[in-house]
Amino acid sequence: MRDLVSFFDIGSYEGALQEFGLEEIVFVKRFSKGEVKKYRAKLEKSDLKEKVKFCNIVERGKIKSEKADYIAIEVKEIKDLNAACDKRIRFIIFNPKAQADLQAIKKLASANREIVFSFSDLLSANAFERMLILKKIRFVAKLAKKAKANVRVYSFAKSFAELRNPKSLQSILACLGD
């Protein structure tokens, strides 16, 4: 099991690996040039260098890994879904306000690609926005099921307190009918 997070704290990572039974933590961020190298240098002193990976969030048309292990793209509109078909992209971070259609999601169906939703968006939303986000997750999950694409919910935690058990995050999809 893995979790995608948006904070870097080696001590918290060690706690999360033990508490939640995680095999891998992926630090997701828009990295600038040389930033991944600095973070890797901090990891060299710990036992976590095999278990912590880096994922660079890229813009449409500007796909550069910046020496990260994975590449992600944030989908804000249909054009981003078309750009997400690049083979180097591993995670498609779905913005709840983005539109989706079956044809675009069929293009993304691949064994090594994941359509990803952020649990952090749910935590920070008010009741009405939360309902809209859950509705969008359900809609995209149903389209993805038809297209045989992988859909996941990750914590995208901004601190250790926001981390969640990956199994409970996946149960959100099950509750929504996926």
pLDDT of residue 85: 77
pLDDT of residue 178: 59
CA dihedral 71, 119, 140, 138 (to 10 degrees): 170
What is the chain's Cα-based Rg? 16
Q: Which domains does the chain carry?
A: 2-175 (3.20.20.140)
105, 78 Cβ separation under 8 angstroms: no
Which stretch of 40-54, 78-92, 121-135 has the lowest confidence by average pLDDT? 78-92
Distance of CA 108 to the CA centre of its chain: 15
What average pLDDT does range 7-27 have in this prediction? 89
Q: Kindly report the pTM of this predicted structure.
A: 0.86
Give the separation between CA 129 and CA 36, rounded to whole angstroms: 34
Q: How would residue 148 be classed by pLDDT, with cut points 50, 70 and 90?
A: confident
